[in-house]
């Protein structure tokens, strides 16, 4: 296939390598195409090469990237999804496949005009593994490849075909989800990151400077776990209220992490190998460190993660107090930014919501 990868970051480099390794004609769409090498490599945690492939080209031209693309992987933060969708939409056509990796963050709505033109939009519930760039445009380290991936498409009838594509490229068993809401409601970063950030920086205000930067996962504590579990329970309640959909694959994080209480959750998260060494989002200032509110942990997971979950809660008349309190804490510090709004995509009420996700 002619495959275009949008984004040359962690996931984009990993997916590009897999596609090229399988013999597809790969174009990487990036703002810095001159820095992307022909040969891309995925290594493991002991620096062994585990995947390698040669791409066809890297470009910053929309025409070159999208005009002949049969499959497009969108591997950018949720904050950029609307912008990317507007660049792809002029080239969208019947049968074109657009894969959002991972599929959370409202991308399915951002690509609504592409869907209207006959394109198939699908998403991965979670990324294939933890991936971190070693060298931009060349090498990425991937740790902990999943044993199974889950995919949903809009329209739903295309899901099985999309699963076959992903399984063929990544080489991991890929299971179809009943509908795209099983991705939209996945209780991952939108509550994982936001719960932790509120715990870390809950008392911060202008003038406070920290002496050091805590490790985001390895120094995870029970207070973070307690808030995470309360938010996770609220997501499960939203699922129960959306009884018109099969949401059996929106697994509670209690099940995902095999941790039924705060203490077990803390032990689990703080010991995950792929999370080792990752620091909290912070900026160095004269006397120490302050929170980096421009980090994706903030800009994506509050404005395009938690916001989406809360709006869905409102569609089903559920209060979600813990998630709202977490979001309001963020608003009180940084104010509202470019928040995701379902209404921007013609979804103004519960009926609109049901119609879009039921197609």
Same structural domain for residues 322 and 232?
Answer: yes
226 and 162 inside one domain: no
| 193 and 180 within one domain | no
Residue 295, pLDDT score:
92
Whether pLDDT at 338 is above 80: no
Q: Is residue 105 located within the same domain as residue 9?
A: yes
Judgement on whether residues 102 and 241 belong to the same structural domain of the protein: no
pTM of the shown model: 0.91
Cα 156 to Cα 358: distance, rounded to the nearest angstrom: 8
CATH number (domain holding residue 37): 3.40.50.720
Q: Mean pLDDT over residues 175-182, rounded?
A: 97
* Each residue's pLDDT tens digit, 11-49: 999 999 999 999 999 999 999 999 999 999 999 999 999
Query: Which burial class, exposed, middle or buried, applies to 52 when counting CB atoms under 10 A from its CB (0-12, 13-18, 19+)?
Result: middle
What whole-number distance in Å separates Cα of residue 172 and Cα of residue 169?
8
Residues 134 and 198 in one domain: no
Of the pLDDT bands very low, low, confident and very high (cuts 50, 70, 90), residue 93 is: very high
Both 207 and 145 in a single domain? no
The whole-number pLDDT of residue 273 equals 85
The band of 293, judged by pLDDT with boundaries at 50, 70 and 90, is: very high
Q: What is the DSSP string of 247-271?
A: -TTS--HHHHTT--SHHHHHHHHHT
Residues 158 and 279 in one domain: no
pLDDT at 331: 93
Range of the domain at 311: 189-357
- pLDDT tens digit string along 125-162? 999 999 999 999 999 999 989 999 999 999 999 999 99
Task: Label residue 317 left, alpha or beta by phi (over 0 means left) and psi (-120 to 50 means alpha).
Answer: left
Give a three-class secondary structure readout of 312-353. HHHHCCCCCHHHHHHHHHHHHHHCCCCCCCHHHHCCCCHHHH
**Taking a C-beta distance cutoff of 8 angstroms, is the pair 270, 158 a contact?**
no
pLDDT score at 337: 78
Number of folded domains that form the chain: 2
| Whether residues 256 and 334 fall in one domain | yes
- Percent of the chain at pLDDT above 70? 100
CA–CA separation, 347 vs 106, rounded Å? 12
| Cβ-contact 132, 140 below 8 angstroms | yes
Q: In this predicted structure, what is the pLDDT of residue 341?
A: 94
Q: For the residues 63-69, what does the mean pLDDT come to?
A: 98
Domain identity same for 161 and 224: no
Distances (CA, A) of 94 to 46, 72, 97, 114, 346: 44, 14, 9, 9, 22
Q: Sorting pLDDT into bands at 50, 70 and 90, what band is 76?
A: very high
The CATH number covering residue 325 comes to 1.10.1040.10
**Is residue 298 within 8 Å of residue 266, measured between CB atoms?**
no
CB count within 10 Å of CB 94 equals 8
């Amino acid at each position: 296939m002619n495959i275009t990868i949008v984004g040359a970051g962690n996931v984009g480099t990993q997916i590009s390598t897999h596609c090229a390794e399988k013999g597809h004609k790969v174009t990487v769409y990036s703002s810095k195409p001159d820095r992307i090498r022909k040969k891309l490599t995925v290594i493991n945690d002991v620096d062994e090469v585990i995947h390698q492939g040669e791409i066809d080209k890297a470009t910053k031209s929309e025409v070159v990237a999208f005009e002949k693309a049969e499959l497009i992987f969108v591997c950018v933060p949720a904050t950029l999804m609307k912008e990317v969708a507007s660049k792809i939409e002029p080239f969208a056509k019947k049968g074109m496949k657009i894969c959002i990796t991972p599929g959370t963050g409202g991308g399915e709505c951002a690509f609504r005009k592409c869907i209207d033109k006959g394109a198939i939009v699908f998403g991965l519930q979670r990324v294939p593994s933890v991936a971190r760039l070693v060298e931009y445009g060349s090498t990425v380290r991937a740790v902990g490849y999943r044993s199974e991936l889950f995919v949903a498409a809009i329209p739903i009838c295309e899901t099985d075909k999309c699963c076959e594509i992903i399984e063929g490229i990544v080489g991991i068993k890929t299971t179809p989800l009943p509908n795209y809401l099983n991705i939209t409601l996945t209780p991952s970063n939108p509550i994982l990151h936001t719960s932790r950030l509120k715990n870390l920086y809950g008392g911060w205000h202008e003038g406070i400077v920290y002496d050091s930067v805590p490790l985001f996962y390895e120094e995870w504590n029970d207070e973070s776990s307690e808030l995470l579990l309360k938010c996770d329970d609220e997501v499960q309640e939203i699922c129960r209220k959306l009884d018109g959909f099969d949401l059996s694959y929106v697994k509670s994080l209690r099940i995902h992490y095999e941790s039924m209480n705060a203490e077990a959750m803390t032990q689990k998260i703080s010991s995950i190998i792929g999370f080792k060494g990752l620091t909290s989002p912070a900026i160095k200032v004269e006397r120490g460190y302050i929170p980096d509110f421009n980090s994706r942990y903030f800009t994506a997971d509050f404005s395009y993660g938690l916001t989406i979950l809360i709006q869905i809660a409102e569609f089903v008349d559920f209060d979600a107090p813990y998630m709202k309190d977490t979001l309001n804490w963020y608003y009180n510090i940084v104010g509202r930014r470019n928040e995701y709004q379902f209404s921007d995509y013609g979804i103004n009420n519960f009926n609109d919501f049901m119609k879009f996700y039921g197609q």
